[in-house]
Structure formats: structure tokens, C-alpha cells
């Protein structure tokens, strides 16, 4: 039995592709399924009978090491502190790239780029693995960067699942690549750690994993939906997190260009409802309990704090877990220390949604007798009745949106009609119940 019979078959595959690169017989490959979702498939019958490497690597397999086991192994040292929400840490910081233009060209404050530039300039690593734009579908891919001056080209966000298989294969096969820093979401960071147990070259070559805080990730259909909803057919390029004077960093822009070179820009407020209700959220994300990339050497996130809400240029919050990386960060003139509770405060909405959403997803999955990834349930929060009703709607939207989109022929009108018919009244009652719950709680507190 391999990964195709479990997480992939049960719609719990995140689509990272790490298992493909670690399969000893090259039996697996990653493909789009009928609903345009990334999924692992078997190429032939070369699967070794007693091999379980893919199951040990997959971040959503019940055979793989969890985040607590890995973080204890990696970071349980005398120089590390521990916090229940973020895991181990040395220090926490807030700041931005000292070069103004690079800060403006970044998704947040530009400090991920600064760190990668420094690692290459100082020859601490010879390669960084980053996500960059492509002018054709799938629009984003993992790319190898060897020169510090080129890091600037990979400074945006990508709200879609990106498989890392081809890039990892290059690292494994190319003997000139010896020390690599990889930028990764929490689930991919965990998969990479798992992979180092089974692939000696990855264990030797991966020097640092640079984590990004994550609340949810989107399927390939999300980009398709955004483009067609906004009148862009034949999309050739999409850029997330576009900054603009007079626009706060919380309402960042999304620029879309079609094959004729025609542009359309929208902002986050134009699709905030879809984001909130998990439209096209990858199903596996419902079961994730790692927000702060607890297996990564350093973690970056947006500074969602009151004092930075109106910022046009962007700031980063940082958690360090590696002394070498902490030293590089602490010497940047445009950063300052920040207390760990401010880090938690900045992501409080994500934390709340993750804990209650994951509790709901696990409960529903077990009730339906489906394959359910084992997660750290002691970290989750049981939502009240009204919250649970709403989280159940979001879970079902996430599980079904890709299918409904394809069945609607990628037609926004048909898709909207189907979604409204299935979920419209449920969302109405869910929001109403939650609003009543908030009012009742407020009245009780005032008494």
C-alpha cells in the first residue's frame, strides 16, 4: 500500500510532491485530476511491497512524524524558548528590508528576500529554492536561484499549491549543489524534514528551511475563478500582493494580464468573502494544525498588528529558531525585537479559525468514516453550536468547490447559481446565529 491508496485517494493530498522525489523506484508522479486538483498517481507496478517511504514523508499521512516530534528533535536546546502557539523560538522581530524599492516590491516587508540575499552573498548556501511567476499555467513554480541579485525577482506571494518535485529532483541529481535554503509553507516544511530521513542527499544538502505562516492555501481553480470572474480570459500572468500608494497592506492588489497584454487589478476586499468561506481551499488544509511552520529554522509573516494596519509599504514579523539565521536578522538596521505575545496577537484570527475549523473538520470526517489525518487534537478548540454550524459550511465548501467549478464548465454564472442554491441559505443562517451569539456573549459580559 502506498500514498495513492490513502491520502491521495481520500482527497487529503496537499499536492506538494515531496513523496514523488523520495520514491526509490520513481513509481509515483504528480498530476492534475479531473477537478484540476494536484494528486499523486502510480506510473507502473514498481511499488516495493514492504516500502512505506511515501507514507512516512507525506505531511498528512498518519505514519509520518508530527510537528512536535520534529521540533523537539531539532530545536529542544538551551538557547530555545517554547510557546504553546508558535513552538520553539530564540527571538522574535519586526521590521522591513533596508532598501526601499525591495521592500515595496515584496509581499510584506521584504525580509525573506533580504535573508536569501545574505545567505548567497556570504556563500553560506549556494542555492535557494523559491517560488516565482511563470507566464503560462500553472503561473507559479519552484525555481532554483544561485545569485543574490536575482532573489529580487522572487519576492511575491503565490496563493495556489505548487509542487516541488522538479526542483527537488534537480537538487538531488546535481552534485554542484551542496547547500540549499528552501522557502516553504508549514506542510511542505514538515514533508521536507520527513524526506531527509529517507534521502541522504536531501539530508546533506538542505541547510535551512525558511517557513512562511499559513492559514490556508488555494487550489489551481482559485486563480482560474478570479480571472474569469473579473473578465480576464486567456490569463497569461497573475501577480499577488501588489502594493500601491494610498492602499493599506491589508487590502493588497492582485494584477492579472491576459494573452493580449490587457491588465485588470483587483484588491483583497474584492474576494475577501470567498477567502473567508474557504472557496477553493485545498481540502487537506482543513486538517492542518501548524500555522507557524514549527519545523522550519526561521518563520516570516505579515505584521497584522494595530500599529501597522495602515502601512502602505509592509512589515514582517519573524520567529528565529537557528542561531546563524538569528545573527543575520538581528544585525539588520531596520528591525527591532518584539515580544512573543505580539506575534501571537498578529495571527489571532488565523489561530482561532485553525483551531476551531480543524476541530470541526476532524469531527465531521470521523463521523463520515473517512480517512482522517491524525493531528494534535489537544491544540484544537471545540467551537460553540453557532460557530460549529458556520465552520461546517466552510468545510463543505472547501471539499466541494473544485468539483462544482469544473461541473459548471468554469462558467461564473452557473457556478454562482449552484453555490447559492446549495449554500446560500446555510450561510445566511450561519452568519445570523454567530451574530446573535456575539450579542448574547456581550450582554452576559456586561452583567
At residue 250, the pLDDT reads 85
The tens digit of pLDDT for each residue in 73-120 reads 999 988 899 999 999 999 999 999 999 999 999 999 999 999 999 999
Omega of the bond leading into 421 within 30 degrees of 0 (cis): no
Whether residue 93 contacts residue 109, with contact meaning beta carbons closer than 8 Å, is answered with no
pLDDT of residue 339: 98
pLDDT, tens digit, 9 for 90 and up, residues 232-257: 999 999 999 999 988 887 899 999 99
The percentage of the chain sitting over the pLDDT mark of 90, rounded to a whole number, equals: 85
Radius of gyration for the chain, computed over Cα atoms and rounded to the nearest angstrom? 21
Q: What is the pTM of this model?
A: 0.95
Q: Between residues 299 and 437, which one has the greater pLDDT?
A: 299
Taking only the tens place, the pLDDT of each residue in 202-213 is 999 999 999 999
* Structural domain includes residue 433: yes
Q: Domain count of the chain?
A: 1
Residue 432 in any domain: the answer is yes
**Pairing outcome for strands 316-320 and 91-95:** antiparallel
β-pairing verdict for 298-302 and 81-83: unpaired
What integer pLDDT is reported at residue 447 of this predicted model? 62
Q: How far is CA 246 from CA 77, 98, 268, 313, 323, in A?
A: 45, 21, 15, 10, 38
Residues 17 and 38 sit within 8 Å (Cβ to Cβ): yes
Task: Decide if pLDDT at 351 tops 70.
Answer: yes
State mean pLDDT over 13-30: 95
Burial category of 334 from C-beta neighbours within 10 Å (exposed 0-12, middle 13-18, buried 19 and up): middle
Q: How many of the other CB atoms lie within 10 Å of CB of 389?
A: 18
Would 306 be classed as within a structural domain? no
With contact defined as beta carbons under 8 Å apart, do 349 and 110 qualify?
no
- Flag whether 441 is in a domain: yes
CB count in 10 Å sphere of residue 362: 20
Q: Indicate the average pLDDT of the chain.
A: 94
N-term to C-term CA, the chain = 59
Residue 444: is its pLDDT beyond 90? Answer: no
Residue 412 to residues 217, 232, 428: CA-CA distances in angstroms?
A: 21, 12, 21
pLDDT tens digits, residue range 361-393? 999 999 998 999 989 999 999 999 999 999 999
Quick one: which H or E segment has residue 206? Answer: strand 206-212
Bridge partners (DSSP) listed for residue 163 = none
CA pair distance 125, 146, nearest whole angstrom = 9
Please tell me the distance from the alpha carbon of residue 348 to that of residue 171, in angstroms, as a whole number.
37
293 pLDDT higher than 90: yes
Of residues 89, 215, 23, the one with CA closest to residue 4: 23
- Cα–Cα distances in angstroms (integers) from residue 132 to residues 10, 154, 164, 257, 339, in the given order: 30, 5, 12, 16, 32
pLDDT at 438: 79
- Burial grade of 141 (CB within 10 A; 0-12, 13-18, 19 or more): middle
Does a structural domain hold residue 163? no
Q: Does residue 442 lie in a domain region?
A: yes
Is 436 within the bounds of a domain? yes
> How confident is the model over 409-428, as pLDDT tens digits?
999 999 999 999 999 999 98
What range defines the domain where residue 370 resides? 349-446
Backbone angles phi, psi at 69, to 5 degrees: -60, -45
> Which pLDDT band, with edges at 50, 70 and 90, does 396 fall under?
very high
Please check whether residue 26 lies inside any domain of the structure. Answer: no
pLDDT in tens, 128-141: 999 999 878 889 99
Mean pLDDT confidence for 168-188: 97
Amino acid at each position: 500500500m502506498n500514498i495513492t491508496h490513502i491520502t491521495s485517494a481520500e482527497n487529503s493530498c496537499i499536492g506538494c510532491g515531496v513523496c514523488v522525489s523520495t520514491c526509490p523506484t520513481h513509481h509515483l508522479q504528480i498530476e492534475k485530476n479531473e477537478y484540476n486538483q494536484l494528486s499523486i498517481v502510480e506510473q507502473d507496478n514498481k511499488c516495493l511491497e514492504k516500502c512505506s517511504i511515501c507514507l512516512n514523508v507525506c505531511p498528512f499521512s498518519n505514519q509520518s512524524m508530527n510537528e512536535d516530534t520534529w521540533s523537539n528533535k531539532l530545536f529542544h536546546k538551551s538557547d530555545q524558548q517554547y510557546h504553546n502557539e508558535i513552538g520553539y523560538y530564540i527571538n522574535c522581530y519586526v521590521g522591513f528590508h533596508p532598501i526601499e524599492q525591495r521592500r515595496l516590491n515584496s509581499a510584506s516587508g521584504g525580509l525573506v528576500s533580504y535573508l536569501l540575499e545574505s545567505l548567497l552573498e556570504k556563500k553560506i548556501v549556494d542555492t535557494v529554492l523559491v517560488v516565482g511567476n511563470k507566464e503560462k499555467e500553472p503561473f507559479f513554480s519552484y525555481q532554483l536561484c544561485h545569485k543574490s541579485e536575482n532573489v529580487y525577482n522572487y519576492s511575491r506571494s503565490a496563493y495556489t499549491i505548487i509542487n516541488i518535485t522538479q526542483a527537488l529532483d534537480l537538487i538531488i541529481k546535481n552534485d554542484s549543489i551542496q547547500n540549499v535554503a528552501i522557502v516553504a509553507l508549514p506542510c511542505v516544511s514538515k514533508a521536507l524534514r520527513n524526506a531527509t530521513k529517507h534521502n541522504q542527499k536531501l539530508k546533506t544538502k538542505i541547510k535551512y528551511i525558511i517557513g512562511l505562516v499559513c492559514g490556508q492555501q488555494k487550489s489551481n481553480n482559485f486563480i482560474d475563478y478570479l480571472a474569469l470572474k473579473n473578465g480576464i480570459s486567456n490569463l497569461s500572468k497573475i501577480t499577488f500582493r501588489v502594493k500601491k500608494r494610498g492602499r493599506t497592506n491589508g487590502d493588497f492588489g492582485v494584477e492579472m494580464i491576459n494573452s493580449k497584454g490587457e491588465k485588470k487589478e483587483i484588491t483583497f476586499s474584492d474576494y475577501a468573502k470567498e477567502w473567508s468561506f474557504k472557496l477553493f481551499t485545498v481540502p487537506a488544509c482543513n486538517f492542518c494544525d501548524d500555522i507557524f511552520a514549527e519545523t522550519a529554522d526561521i518563520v516570516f509573516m505579515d505584521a497584522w498588528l494595530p500599529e501597522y494596519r495602515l502601512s502602505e509599504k509592509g512589515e514582517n514579523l519573524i520567529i528565529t529558531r537557528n542561531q546563524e539565521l538569528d545573527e543575520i536578522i538581528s544585525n539588520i538596521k531596520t528591525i527591532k525585537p518584539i515580544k512573543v505575545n505580539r506575534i501571537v496577537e498578529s495571527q489571532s484570527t488565523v489561530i482561532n479559525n485553525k483551531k476551531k475549523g480543524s476541530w470541526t473538520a476532524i469531527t465531521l470526517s470521523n463521523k463520515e468514516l473517512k480517512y482522517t489525518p491524525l493531528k494534535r487534537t489537544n491544540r484544537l478548540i471545540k467551537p460553540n453550536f453557532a460557530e460549529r454550524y458556520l465552520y461546517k459550511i466552510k468545510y463543505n465548501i472547501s471539499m466541494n468547490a473544485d468539483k462544482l467549478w469544473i461541473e459548471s464548465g468554469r462558467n461564473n454564472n452557473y457556478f454562482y447559481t449552484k453555490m447559492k442554491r446549495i449554500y446560500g441559505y446555510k450561510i445566511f443562517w450561519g452568519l445570523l446565529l454567530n451574530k446573535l451569539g456575539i450579542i448574547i456573549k456581550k450582554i452576559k459580559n456586561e452583567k
